Amino acid sequence: MCGIVAYVGSKQARPLLIEGLKRMEYRGYDSAGLAVLNGKLEVCRAVGRVAMLEEKLEDAPGFEGTLGLAHTRWATHGGVTEANAHPHRDDKVGIALVHNGIIENYAVLKTYLKEKGHQFHSETDTEVLAMLIGELYEGDLEHAVQAALREVTGAYAIAVICEREPDTLVCARKGSPLMVGIGAGEYVVASDPSAIVSHTTQAFPLDDYNVVKITRTGFRSSTVENVSVTPKIMQLEMDLEQIDLGRFQHFMQKEIFEQPAALRNTLRGRLQRTEGKVVLGGLSAYAKELVRARRIVLAGQGTALHAAMIGEYMLEDLAKVPAVAEYASEFRYRNPIIEDGTVVIAVSQSGETADTLAALNEAKDRGALALGVINVVGSTIARETDAGVYLRVGPEVGVASTKAFTGQVAVLALITLFMARRRFMSTEASTRLIDEMLAVPDKIERICEQDTHIRDVTAKYCDRENWLFLGRGYNYPTALEGALKLKEISYIHAEGMPAAEMKHGPIALINEGMPAVFIANKGRQYEKVMSNIAEVRARGGHVIAVATEGDTEIKKQVEDVIYVPDVAEQLSPMLTVVPLQLMAYHAAVIRGHDVDKPRNLAKSVTVE
Ligand code: F6R
């Protein structure tokens, strides 16, 4: 979603801010802007890519200065126009502000400010906040920001500069991430560490309701009530190479191919094969609660929810504990019952998804033990949980989530074994499953070797506008994930569902040549899936089957087959999803879409 980068130091701010915006481009945005303090405020904004902003700046004189801020906007209030792009200003005092989040009471504040004589130039909630800070300014920017934020409800990460204080950058946060990078005599503030790591790896995240005043010589952290706080400085672990494309054309492609290495990292040091044990440092203090857990709720959105659904199946099947996966957004607002012994697991790549965070907090308030399955270390959800297990799959830059999905399924399998072994599972059974897990990365490598075949199969169908994805059991969520991937980046309409559900209505959609992707690997429901395949083919549908190596029979029953190695059924989604990721990728490339910047999408959704 929106991105913020701000700089104060001794270097020219403008190239640095542009570089920061480019690093955050993957997050999704529709317009960009920048302000530099050069005696007076100089502001430039453009609709479209950061490159458009750069082009505009090339023709603009000035913009020299060592204090500035910049933004990529993902529209919420008001359309995609230059007037709505950030930074927004208050001209009375000379303030420029960039903002991520939503000011919920902006309408009331706008009426108040209009009465005070302010004139608005945009439809945004952000401009209201800029004007409010201007209205409350009495010679101290930090105090004006604190006072304004005391009047605001909603979510925000902001950076603010003011013509009257040419040495000062003020930033604040509630509900939307923001981090201060500490360099030598310089500070880089950003909503995403990728915009910081090329300058410094020392940083601290702002906590909710915290405000930080930064000058070239130091910083001061406080709450909006002006109580001093001491931030926790940490070492950013992101390596710039990890966010470069290397030999690949797109981040999504790179991340699909990275899955074997990423999963080896996820599993490293966590499996004790001979004892059939799983070692999860983050959970060891809560082992008793987990053994005694009476119900597990897994909450997430999108791809993370699909992984959570597989977690639900594994927990019930292997750890024998009642489990349910839910849309975090629904769980949060449906007055859920949390009984004694309920454990909530928030599943999220970014650790910043607003709905997932809200669900977690709701569950915590109702007494649940709150665990996280998160990728981004130190993210908001990771910090809010009682304990958790990191994915360790490295930064995921592609907007369409791929390696985080397989990482989430792997971590949920680890948590399942952690509990199962302590509850009912024998050492032998656990060791068998551990061996299966350890073999998954090599097996994914074998699937990736079929990339050309997968592209050729996709090319045959990618002019069709409606696809079905069907699976059963553990691979019903995989079908949902396959359909989501195709929708997101190729803009083809796709529906995923349990294969049996097709007969209850969707079968009416099937006509001559409609592609239906079946996850038909060997497993408990194989025969049933084969019957569903026959039903589709009888109506003219073209079936692409993801099947188990060695299943030669299926070749006679379908139009195309993509083989995956055999694996324990519970772990099979980590393999069967890979051809679906590659199909979506190739369909998008063949149709000429920008895979890493899909329309309307944002990498992390920080508004509810
Ligand atoms: C799909 C995708 C989204 C995310 C969802 C949750 O490719 O990326 O559906 O999975 O927005 O995001 P996280 O995992 O960051 O909470």
Question: What is the DSSP secondary structure assignment for residue 499, as one 8-state letter?
Answer: G
Q: Please work out whether the CB of residue 307 comes within 6 Å of at least one atom of ligand 1.
A: no
**27 — pLDDT class (breaks 50, 70, 90):** confident
Residue 402 in contact with ligand 1 by CB distance below 6 A = no
Question: How far are the Cα atoms of 324, 338, 379, 388, 574 from residue 331, in angstroms, in the given order?
Answer: 11, 11, 21, 20, 26
For residues 168 and 220, membership in a common domain is answered with yes
> Same structural domain for residues 283 and 323?
yes
The overall average pLDDT reported for the chain is 94
Same domain? For 348 and 209 the reply is: no
For 358-367, what is the mean pLDDT? 95
Alpha-carbon separation of residue 22 from 28, 85, 192, 594 (angstroms)? 11, 16, 12, 15
How far is the C-alpha of 26 from the C-alpha of 28, rounded, in Å? Answer: 5
pLDDT at 456 over 70: yes
The neighbour count for residue 282, using CB atoms within 10 Å, is 16
Residues 220 and 164 in one domain: yes
pLDDT digits (tens, 9 = 90+) for 178-226: 999 999 999 999 998 889 998 999 999 999 999 999 999 999 999 999 9
Instruction: Flag whether 603 is in a domain.
Output: no
- The residue nearest atom 16 of ligand 1, judged by CA position, is 348
605 domain residue, yes or no: no
Q: Which residue has the higher pLDDT, 601 or 404?
A: 404
- Atom index in ligand 1 nearest the CA of residue 605 equals 11
Range of the domain at 331: 245-449
Domain count, the chain: 3
pLDDT at 75: 84
**What are the Cα distances from residue 317, in Å, to 92, 433, 473?**
64, 13, 11
One domain for residues 250 and 377: yes
Q: Does 468 lie in the same domain as 569? A: yes
For ligand 1, say whether the CB of 308 is within 6 Å of any of its atoms.
no
pLDDT at residue 241, rounded to an integer = 67
Let me know if residue 21 belongs to a domain.
yes
Q: What is the pLDDT of residues 473-495, one digit of tens each?
A: 999 999 999 999 999 999 999 99
Distance, in Å, from the CA atom of 567 to the CA atom of 195, rounded to the nearest integer, reads: 40
CATH of the domain at 160: 3.60.20.10
* Per-residue model confidence (pLDDT) at position 240: 67
Question: How many A from CA of 166 to the centre of ligand 1?
Answer: 39
**Are the C-beta atoms of 571 and 267 separated by less than 8 Å?**
no
Q: Whose CA is nearest to atom 10 of ligand 1?
A: 303
Q: Of 449, 477, 508, at which residue does a domain stop?
A: 449
**Among 509, 559, 568, 551, which Cα is nearest to 533's?**
559
Give the DSSP H/E element, type plus range, for residue 222.
strand 218-223
Residues tagged active-site: 2, 603
The Å distance, Cα 328 to ligand 1 centre, comes to: 12
C-alpha 228 to ligand 1 mean position (Å): 35
pLDDT for the residue 454? 98
Torsion angles phi and psi, residue 557, rounded to 5:
-100, -10
Residues 204 and 333 in one domain: no
602 inside domain:
no
Q: What is the pLDDT of residues 78-93, one digit of tens each?
A: 889 999 999 999 999 9
- Residue at which a domain ends, from 449, 474, 493: 449
On whether both 313 and 365 belong to a single domain, the answer is yes
Q: Are residues 417 and 482 in the same domain?
A: no
> In testing the pocket of ligand 1, which one of 406, 605, 607 has its CB within 8 Å of the most ligand atoms?
605
Range 50-69 average pLDDT: 92
pLDDT confidence of residue 173: 96
Query: What are φ and ψ of residue 274, in 5° steps?
Result: -65, -35
Ligand 1 and 348: CB distance under 6 A: yes
Does residue 601 lie in a domain region?
no
For 582-608, write each residue's pLDDT tens digit: 999 999 999 999 898 887 777 777 767
Which of the listed residues 391, 422, 449 is the one where a domain comes to its end?
A: 449
Can you give the CATH number for the domain in which 416 is found? 3.40.50.10490
Q: Is residue 606 part of a domain?
A: no
Please check whether residue 404 lies inside any domain of the structure.
Answer: yes
**Same-domain status, 9 and 80:** yes
Residue 545 and residue 398 share a domain: no
Ligand 1 center to residue 351 CA distance, Å? 10
% the chain with pLDDT above 90 = 85
pLDDT digits (tens, 9 = 90+) for 492-527: 999 999 999 988 988 889 999 999 999 999 999 999
Q: Is residue 262 part of a domain?
A: yes
| Position with higher pLDDT, 116 vs 246 | 116
Name the pairing type of β-strands 466-471 and 493-498. parallel
Residues in the chain, total: 608
The reply to whether 232 and 368 lie within a common domain is no
- Residue 172 CA, ligand 1 centroid: distance in Å: 25
Q: What is the rounded CA–CA span in Å between residue 242 and residue 152?
A: 38
Across residues 262-273, what is the average pLDDT? 95
pLDDT reported for residue 89: 96
